[in-house]
Structure 1
């Protein structure tokens, strides 16, 4: 099956929601790690994808939660998973970046990948 471009409405909705991705990753790093230092970088790739990288110095792993329906918290990385075309965590000495890649033109059945990598 060949993916098709999403409708203009789907693209507009996805584009409107993309600002939630860096906020969700940064909130996860601040709220769920012991890191006292966090930084964020946002870069537009040549193919129009947007790469976001939030670096913290904690060894606490970033993973999506499955919150209770009535919980006010715990959905940040679920938002990242839903809106990014690819995301993961790269562990190395001194911390880890959590890095979603966002593609405003991705189709609903995009090839998503989540991974934790150690260097």
Structure 2
């Protein structure tokens, strides 16, 4: 990464992938037609040395549901992955949908 956090690259990429996948797959507003997928926005920030914030805002007010996938299931592990890799994460509702935010820290 251009921020000098090379050791975090894989974790950041995986968290971005999981949060964006959730937004693209599940964040369409319930009143929207199927051909209109909704909007999402990815933001990466480096608030200090060894810290990366990932946030994905989407246009759906639907709550996140963390599932325990069945053995052999091909999906359903995204939030468990985020929970494992992030120091902390949260969901903030907004007037246009929600934002899922995760903080990743470099190994001390």
Scaled to the shorter chain, the TM-score interval is: 0.7 to 0.9
User: 81, 91, 95: which is aligned to 2:83?
Assistant: 81
Give the match for residue 3 of structure 2.
none
- The aligned residue for residue 48 of structure 1 is 50
Q: Which residue of 2 aligns with 1:62?
A: 64
**How many residues matched?**
95
- Unaligned runs of at least 5 residues, structure 1: 1-11, 107-119
Instruction: Map 1:19-38 to 2 at 5 A.
Output: 19-35=13-29, 36-38=38-40
- Secondary structure of 2:48's aligned partner: coil
Match of 1:95 in 2: 97
* Secondary structure in structure 2 of the residue aligned to 1:99: strand
Q: What displacement does 1:38 show?
A: 0.6
The 1-side partners of 2:53 and 2:100 are apart by: 10
**What are structure 2's unaligned runs of at least 5 residues?**
1-5, 30-37
| Higher strand fraction (1 or 2) | 2
Shift of 1:88: 0.6
Q: TM-score, normalising length from structure 1?
A: 0.72
> Is 1:18 equivalent to 2:18 in the alignment?
no
RMSD across aligned C-alpha pairs, in angstroms? Answer: 1.9
TM-score by length of 2: 0.78
